[in-house]
Structure 1
């Protein structure tokens, strides 16, 4: 009977560990959810309540003939919708994936004329991706 309990306990620990492993993996966020990257995007509050971590990625889906994605280097360029500001990255394929490589603020805009000024912009705060792993269970040496 004791052997059965040990096996059941071991099985429960393994099952729990397997189920918790996906929680530590990176998340791919589809910007704007089903509606995608679009005009007046900033008015939706899409990023509110979301936690972005290093290792996650943003997928920008949009009509490539109508929009772009540019990552800006500064809050000031973002606030002013400075299309000639310092860009860290630029994408225009319509299906762009941006990996979040370091903690801190990230600013994105559409560079088409008037799109940023009309709300097609996104700022996120990326947290350190290091998750504290759960401690390993102590070995069981019972009878």
Structure 2
């Protein structure tokens, strides 16, 4: 229940909030770490040319993001998809990159609240891949 002047938050509300927070934390885990804790390793692997390792981890991260989109009302992070698409393009896999970006669009339809700039960036990346 949302707290308002007529209905103060109850212990049951607190329990639901705690359970939801715990579930959200669990769904954000990739290889035992929060999905946002992988930036440094990904950059290191990319600089070392370990593209398959980068793509493997990004695949797990995008899967986690899609699971979050089903559970959480916030938009899935386009960043991870754009990162993976860039690596795929470097490997000559432009079609796979396009499919991945379309998957992001499919997981976040236009009728759900979103940051317009994220959708615009993904759509621009798709257009660039099609040239």
TM-score in same-fold range (> 0.5): no
Higher strand share: 1
Higher helix share: 2
TM-score (norm 2): 0.31
Question: Larger Cα Rg: Structure 1 or Structure 2?
Answer: 1
By relative contact order (CA 8 Å, sep 6+), the higher-ranking structure is 1
TM-score (norm 1): 0.29
